[in-house]
Amino acid sequence: MVNLIIDDKQVTAPKTATIYEAAKLNGIDIPILCHDKKLKPFGACRMCLVEVEQMKGRQIPACTTPATEGMIIRTSTPDIVKARKMVLELLLLNHPLDCPVCDKSGDCDLQNLTYEYKVNSNRFTDEKFSHEIDYNNPLIERDMNRCVLCGKCARICDEIVSYGALTFIDRGIETKIGCEFDDGLNCEFCGSCIAVCPVGSLLARPFKHKARFWAMTKHPSVCGYCGTGCNLTLGVKDNKVLTTIYDENQGFHNGQLCVRGRFGYQFINSAKRLTTPLIKKNGKLTEATWDEALELVASRLKGGNAVAALATPRLTNEELALFKKLLVVNVGTKNFDHAAGYAHAALTEGFASSFGVSASSATILDIQKSNLLIVIKTDAYETHPVVGFEVNMAVKNLGTKLSIISDKRGKLSKLPDAKTLVHFPGSEIAVLNAIAKTILDEKLADGSAAAIAGFAELEKSLAGFSAETVAGLSGISAAEIKKLAGEYATADKALIIFPVGQAYAGHAADLASAAANLAILTGKYGKEGCGVLCLSEKNNSQGAVDMGFYPQDGGLNALQILDACTDGSVKTLLIAGENPLSSYPNHNKVKAALEAVDFLVVSELFMTETAAMADVVLPVCSFAEKEGTFTSTDRRVQYFKAAIRKNIKIKSDFELISDLISRLGGSAPLSPAAQFSEIAASTPGYEGLSHVSLRKEGAFAAVSMAPVFVVPQVAATIAAEAGKLALVTGSALYHSGTLSQYGEGPMHVCPENYIELSRTDASANKIVEGEVVTVSSASGSIKLKAKVTPRMPAGVVFSPYHFSDAPINTIWNGSPVTSVTVSK
């Protein structure tokens, strides 16, 4: 710490702090336009000028000057105020004074500082800029006439997003922020540039002219898409969510959001939302009362194990726990599951066996504390973009080494000095085993490893996984495998990251155990910057596991439940928020199961393909209309409350389940808070937590590990049939599950499914970008637009699984690799 005096006030600050940071830490305000706590100091706007006595009263920028011992600083002398007024006059010289029609009015730093410093005239005269406004981007409007050249948009795009879509172009008075070749903006559409823009130069087009900033109420919440657990603030007016509002002090991510979190909120107020219960009569869904619908549902819930349920992990912890209680206690069935039954296996089977707990041994915060990151599958950026931002910052700002093991290249592969080991699809477990064997052969294992249960069995099982043998199976050279093994074993801190989800059938229990074996072998777990981080797909996937909403004690898993529907042993199926007809493997098999089951009940926000097949459809709330808790992928439990009032015609899942429990003669907690008290009393790691304690900020549910070596089962490498291509499925950057189809923002930039193939394969089949092709497998065929990219290796094609209009499960049966043909 250093001691200094600011405006006659004795203060202390960290040795690494700038004058601006020291002042802010001690409650002293210094005006600034070009600063954001996530970005490196820049010193562009000169609004933060201060006087330092030791520098003979010279005016210096507070944001770039380090605070040193004994400094005496003055932040608002007459000369400083005069200088700031002149800076504002110069900024306003070419700036259009169109505040009455500017969407940023009320939230504009330039406008606020002009008001604060009473700059009501200008001594300087010049022509206003007349740059052409860029309306080409569907989500982001660029008006460089309003730009103050703070550089925050270009810096955040480079330093955090690592895309580099914006930069300074031209010189002198003609300087402006522009894109490559001064073209229109074409980027990842994360909206980070909008968030940090201090003026109206960058605007969110979906929000334009919807409301004034001061007319909205601001409601802190938790994102309802992926498992990262990002905090966000919803801007609400007239009981509608109109936008997300940036707050650099919000969450571990300091307000940083991806395209889904920033622009995917429109589903909350969508006109397509279901608003009344529906009952199928004479083959047609017709409107009904809640009492009629729930009485009918309750009458069909008395069949014990002939009743089964599938739930989305987008439900709250309270709803999932109550749903489980309904099924186990009141209905008497063990047949319930979520996420297709395999998307949680990395936790419920892999980590449960390897670490003794169904949770990751690391947190997202460990990413920037590590010296080496190993990411299994580049899709980790697409599935969890804000986690990808953390990786970007670790590599670019802290010099963290990055190695990627993947069946294709991706965004993370472009980071400085990143090494991407591209393997044949489906061979990642063999690669991890080869790394483990190399560590043992080279005597690089931690001294404590031999004493851990299962060591001898693992060592024996790895006999056939030499680097040379696996090189032939995987396509990665033996030298590369050995080098990565050495780097991982000798790194002071190393972290393994991999995504899971319904599109990643191969990322299950065995992959999790193989990754855990590496951490246990080298002693890299239970320490800062170390461990294995499983990136769960949905916003409450970890919570669904913690609540025990998966088959245990002989219950059927999701795919087995569908088989039981087909053979008639399951008579009644409850589906809460899942859309298996679009997102589960093997479309025809799922459809046959839903057609065969005697009684199908679906609770949903929208009339999905699955809901359309139901006997009863129940309209329920989105996350913005209810309260509860979500548990993020690294077991961070966060409370949120309703941002808007729900439609009186719909119910929350908690209310719906409570009603069913009552109709079956049971009793339910009176509120989500009461239900969470039961959770805290019975769920390991949740002890002492409550809605009250979680309201200000979330808390990590404790993870207690008991490591054991587990021998992972390695399936034979699945190669595409001769003359065919290997299809791998996954997530697109702009989507999460099937819910994002109802968010206008994601659909603006990625509105339909596609097949991504290499330039080599495209050339061989004479396929060009955007051409409609037929993709066929043993399961069926589908027409998709071709996307030709350099990241795909020859012989491998990729398609995301989010789109109901062209569901990839038409040709995908759940195998990690599917042989397909692509024809014109």
Range scoring the smallest mean pLDDT among 130-139, 631-640, 703-712, 725-734: 130-139
In three-state secondary structure terms, 451 is helix
| Mean pLDDT of all residues in 659-676 | 96
In three-state secondary structure terms, 144 is helix
Neighbours of 2 (CB within 10 A): 17
- CATH number, residue 68: 3.10.20.740
Residue pLDDT, tens place only, 761-816: 999 999 999 999 999 999 999 999 999 999 999 999 999 999 999 999 999 999 99
**pTM beyond 0.75:** yes
- CATH number, residue 294: 3.40.50.740
Contact by Cβ (8 Å): 696, 638: no
Question: What is the per-residue pLDDT for 173?
Answer: 86
Question: What is the per-residue pLDDT for 721?
Answer: 76
Answer yes or no: is 121 within a domain.
no
- CATH number, residue 754: 2.40.40.20
The span from the CA of 110 to the CA of 99, in Å, is: 10
Contact by Cβ (8 Å): 535, 500: yes
Question: What is the per-residue pLDDT for 633?
Answer: 97
| Mean pLDDT of all residues in 204-220 | 95
**Quick one: which of 404, 361, 358 has its CA closest to 381?**
404
717 pLDDT exceeds 70? Answer: no
719 pLDDT exceeds 80? Answer: no
Residue pLDDT, tens place only, 109-166: 999 999 999 999 889 888 888 899 998 888 999 999 999 999 999 999 999 999 999 9
What is the total count of domains within the chain? 5
| Mean pLDDT of all residues in 92-102 | 92
10 has which bridge partners? 5
Question: What is the per-residue pLDDT for 718?
Answer: 65
- Phi and psi for 313 in degrees, rounded to 5? -75, 15
Shared domain check, 491 and 375: yes
716 pLDDT exceeds 70? Answer: no
Q: How confident is the model at residue 720 (pLDDT cuts 50, 70, 90)?
A: low
Helix 478-490 with 509-522: angle, nearest 10 deg: 60
In three-state secondary structure terms, 723 is coil
Question: What is the per-residue pLDDT for 137?
Answer: 86
Domain final position from 535, 551, 575:
535
DSSP string, 244-297: EE--TTSTTTTT---HHHHH-GGGGG-TTS--S-EEEETTEEEE--HHHHHHHH
497 pLDDT exceeds 90? Answer: yes
Shared domain check, 259 and 290: no
82 pLDDT exceeds 70? Answer: yes
- CATH number, residue 173: 3.30.70.20
In three-state secondary structure terms, 402 is strand
Answer yes or no: is 257 within a domain.
yes
* Domain ranges, residue 207: 131-269
The span from the CA of 474 to the CA of 714, in Å, is: 12
Shared domain check, 238 and 350: no
Shared domain check, 522 and 426: yes
Answer yes or no: is 720 within a domain.
no
697 pLDDT exceeds 90? Answer: no
**Quick one: which of 509, 525, 532 has its CA closest to 710?**
509
| Mean pLDDT of all residues in 323-345 | 97
The span from the CA of 328 to the CA of 322, in Å, is: 10
Answer yes or no: is 709 within a domain.
no
Q: How confident is the model at residue 471 (pLDDT cuts 50, 70, 90)?
A: very high
Question: What is the per-residue pLDDT for 182?
Answer: 85
Alpha-helical (H) ranges within 529-586 are: 541-546, 558-567, 580-583
Shared domain check, 301 and 383: no
Token pair for 153: 């948009």
Answer yes or no: is 763 within a domain.
yes
Shared domain check, 406 and 550: no
The span from the CA of 350 to the CA of 506, in Å, is: 12
Residue pLDDT, tens place only, 552-569: 999 999 999 999 999 999
Contact by Cβ (8 Å): 342, 505: yes
Domain final position from 503, 535, 567:
535
Shared domain check, 181 and 265: yes
- Phi and psi for 418 in degrees, rounded to 5? -65, 140
- Phi and psi for 178 in degrees, rounded to 5? -145, 180
Answer yes or no: is 525 within a domain.
yes
Question: What is the per-residue pLDDT for 291?
Answer: 97
Shared domain check, 303 and 262: no
Which residue type does 788 have?
V
**Quick one: which of 187, 180, 133 has its CA closest to 156?**
187
- CATH number, residue 517: 3.40.228.10
Answer yes or no: is 489 within a domain.
yes
**Quick one: which of 343, 241, 314, 205 has its CA closest to 739?**
314
Answer yes or no: is 479 within a domain.
yes
Where b means 16+ CB within 10 Å and e means fewer, 10-47 reads ebebeeebbbbbbbbeeebebbbbbbbebbebbbbbbb
Q: Which secondary structure element, helix H or strand E, spans residue 89, and what is its range? A: helix 78-93
Q: Which secondary structure element, helix H or strand E, spans residue 748, and what is its range? A: helix 744-749
Shared domain check, 229 and 319: no
Shared domain check, 359 and 333: no
Which residue type does 33 have?
L
The span from the CA of 71 to the CA of 146, in Å, is: 37
Domain final position from 509, 535, 561:
535
Q: How many residues does the chain have?
A: 824
Shared domain check, 584 and 489: no
Question: What is the per-residue pLDDT for 499?
Answer: 97
Contact by Cβ (8 Å): 541, 632: no
746 pLDDT exceeds 90? Answer: yes
Shared domain check, 514 and 559: no
| Mean pLDDT of all residues in 234-260 | 96
Question: What does pLDDT average to over the chain?
Answer: 95
